[in-house]
């Protein structure tokens, strides 16, 4: 049996590894559009920018591992179409026929046309090359559009590199959608304390070249900086503008293959698409989660776990994927982990334990009496307890902040 995987990112590589771990002896072909072997993206906005990690550190597996495991890795090859009737696709002029196919084509940065068309130096951050290029500009004046995870992590790296950082965010607080107001305030304070000029409830109204600017002297073709006007009246003259306004699932291939797509590739509880021989995992998959409903999750852990799960499903396992989303971030000296999912309605109760001054905190978010999510900042023992609570009815002990989180469960 030949199993093909299109998309050689974390989900694709995790699936390939799991296939061998589960004893699949047949051929495995892993095809990726990027020139590198699969790598992890979290270091692109953290260790690589901070100069603490290299491209080699970010690799999912050593180069030799693919040969040892008899996994054919084809890099630098973007698959254009899949013939679902013949169960085949073309790569580098060669036809690959599959029994099962996993699509793990991930996501790409969401673009801001106004920035792209402005003629000023604009950066995005999704790939290793983009991270390496961005690192060279951290010490200048960086204007970051979007105070999401990536925008804030880059802000942190840039401040640590001695750069001047302006962040523009249209919401009232950074990260307010995924973590809610109470904990979002922790991040707003953190960045302001570290000298980030954070403009909330604000948008970019004008972006144009500043021919007189001297900031991007090293930028070769693109000399001069930018002049940006914000909706709150502020004028900024950055050397580089980083657009960090989210990602879009890369559904191009799934669409040409005729699969059901709705802001991602629709998959059932086992990660199977509308074609019985095609599966999807990671950033691209809109999963039918048995507890959470339709959900697309753009997280490192989901790419690994769904990649592995899809591998087991392709080998015949009928178990649904039920894992709760998990996410982490590192900014300055603050580490955060988050488990669960705040639906559109958010939470109606939050129980916070810990100390705002030291930012050693944990928070449990409750909607309709049920714990929907939990997170901590620098409270590393909390994760397992938070995970155990997600999905359960909240109790009086959980709400009683005089009782330590670890002692709240009665089972
Ligand atoms: C800068 C950055 C920092 C992040 N930090 C965190 C973090 O701290 N914590 C966290 O939980 N998550 C983080 N994430 C998110 C996490 O990295 C993603 O959820 C994860 O990479 C998704 O993996 P994937 O394999 O689904 O997709 P991707 O990593 O996007 O990989 C998909 C691959 O498929 C390739 N491809 C697409 N179309 C084709 C085609 N037609 N043919 C061949 N190949 C194709 C793409 O080129 C790409 O290489 C971060 C993401 C970024 C960008």
Residue nearest to atom 30 of ligand 1 (CA): 106
Tokens of 133: 């290029």
Task: Give me ligand 1 centre to Cα 34, in Å.
Answer: 11
Q: 107 CA to middle of ligand 1, Å?
A: 6
Q: How far apart are CA 148 and CA 255, in angstroms?
A: 28
Q: How far apart are CA 107 and CA 110, in angstroms?
A: 9
Q: What is residue 402's predicted lDDT score, i.e. its pLDDT?
A: 97
Instruction: Pick the residue whose CA is nearest to atom 53 on ligand 1.
Output: 126
What local confidence, expressed as pLDDT, does residue 237 receive? 93
Per-residue model confidence (pLDDT) at position 411: 76
Asked if 149 and 309 touch (Cβ cutoff 8 Å), the reply is no
Residue pLDDT, tens place only, 216-273: 434 433 445 789 999 999 999 999 999 999 999 999 999 999 999 999 999 999 999 9
* d(CA 299, ligand 1 centre) in Å: 9
pLDDT reported for residue 221: 35
> Which atom of ligand 1 is nearest to 12's Cα?
25
Whole-angstrom Cα distance, residue 333 to residue 244? Answer: 22
The pLDDT tens digits of the residues spanning 308-359 come to 999 999 999 999 999 999 999 999 999 999 999 988 889 999 999 999 999 9
Regions in the chain scoring below 70 on pLDDT: 212-224
| Residues framing ligand 1 (Cβ under 6 A) | 6-12, 31-34, 41-42, 44-45, 78-79, 104-107, 125-126, 150, 250, 253, 282-283, 298-301, 303, 327-329
Residue 214: its pLDDT value, please? Answer: 44
Nearest CA among 332, 347, 328, 330 for reference residue 389: 347
Q: Contact 186/377 with Cβ under 8 angstroms?
A: yes
Distance 270 CA to ligand 1 centre (A): 21
Q: Other CB atoms closer than 10 Å to residue 387's CB: what's the count?
A: 16
Pocket mutation for ligand 1, best pick of 4, 5, 7, 78 (most atoms within 8 Å of C-beta): 7
Of 336, 332, 377, the closest CA to residue 158 belongs to 332
Q: Are 105 and 254 in contact (CB under 8 A)?
A: yes
**CA angle, 326 then 365 then 150, to 5°:** 45
Alpha-carbon distance of 106 to 104, in angstroms, equals 6
- Check residue 224 and give its pLDDT: 57
How much is the CA Rg of the chain, to the nearest whole Å? 22
pLDDT of residue 219: 41
Q: How high is the pLDDT of residue 143?
A: 97
| CA-proximal residue: ligand 1, atom 7 (nearest) | 42
Q: CA 214 to CA 237: how far, in whole Å?
A: 10
How many Å apart are CA 141 and CA 62, to the nearest integer? Answer: 36
| C-alpha angle 77-313-267 in degrees, rounded to nearest 5 | 70
How far is residue 267's CA from residue 341's CA, in Å, rounded to a whole number? Answer: 19
Strands 100-103 and 240-243: unpaired
381: three-class secondary structure by DSSP: coil
């Amino acid at each position: 049996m030949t199993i093909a995987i299109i998309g050689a990112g974390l989900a694709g590589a995790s699936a390939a590894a799991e296939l061998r771990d589960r004893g699949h002896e047949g051929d495995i072909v892993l095809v990726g559009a990027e020139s590198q072997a699969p790598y992890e993206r979290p270091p692109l906005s953290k260790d690589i920018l901070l100069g603490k990690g290299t491209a080699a550190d970010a690799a999912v597996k050593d180069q030799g591992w693919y040969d040892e495991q008899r996994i054919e890795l084809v890099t630098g090859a973007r698959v254009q179409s899949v013939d679902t009737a013949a169960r085949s696709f073309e790569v580098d002029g060669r036809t690959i026929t599959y029994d099962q196919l996993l699509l793990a084509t991930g996501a790409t940065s969401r673009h801001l046309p106004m920035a792209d068309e402005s003629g000023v130096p604009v950066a995005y951050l999704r790939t290793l090359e983009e991270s390496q290029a961005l690192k060279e500009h951290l010490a200048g004046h960086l204007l970051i559009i979007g105070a999401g995870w990536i925008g804030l992590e880059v802000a942190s790296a840039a401040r640590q590199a001695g750069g001047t950082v302006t962040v523009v965010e249209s919401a009232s607080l950074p990260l307010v959608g995924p973590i809610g107001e109470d904990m979002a305030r922790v991040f707003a304070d953190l960045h302001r304390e570290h000298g980030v000029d954070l403009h909330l409830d604000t948008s970019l109204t004008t972006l144009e070249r500043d021919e007189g600017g001297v900031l991007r002297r090293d930028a070769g073709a693109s000399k001069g900086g930018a002049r940006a006007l914000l909706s709150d009246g502020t004028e900024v003259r950055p050397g580089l503008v980083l657009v960090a306004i989210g990602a879009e699932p890369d559904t191009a291939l799934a669409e040409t293959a005729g699969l059901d797509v709705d802001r991602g590739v629709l998959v059932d509880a086992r990660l199977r698409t509308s074609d019985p021989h095609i599966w999807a995992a990671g950033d691209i998959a809109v999963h039918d989660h048995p507890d959470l409903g339709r959900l697309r999750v753009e997280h490192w852990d989901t790419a690994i776990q769904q990649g592995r799960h899809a591998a087991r499903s392709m080998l015949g396992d009928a178990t649904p994927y039920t894992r709760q989303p998990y996410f982490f971030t590192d900014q300055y000296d603050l580490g955060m982990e988050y488990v669960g999912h705040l639906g559109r309605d958010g939470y109606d109760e939050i129980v916070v334990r810990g100390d705002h001054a030291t930012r050693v905190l944990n928070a449990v978010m409750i909607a309709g009496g049920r714990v929907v999510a939990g997170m901590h900042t620098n409270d590393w023992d909390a994760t397992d307890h938070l995970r155990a609570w997600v999905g359960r009815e909240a109790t009086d002990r959980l709400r009683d902040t005089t009782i330590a989180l670890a002692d709240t469960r009665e089972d």
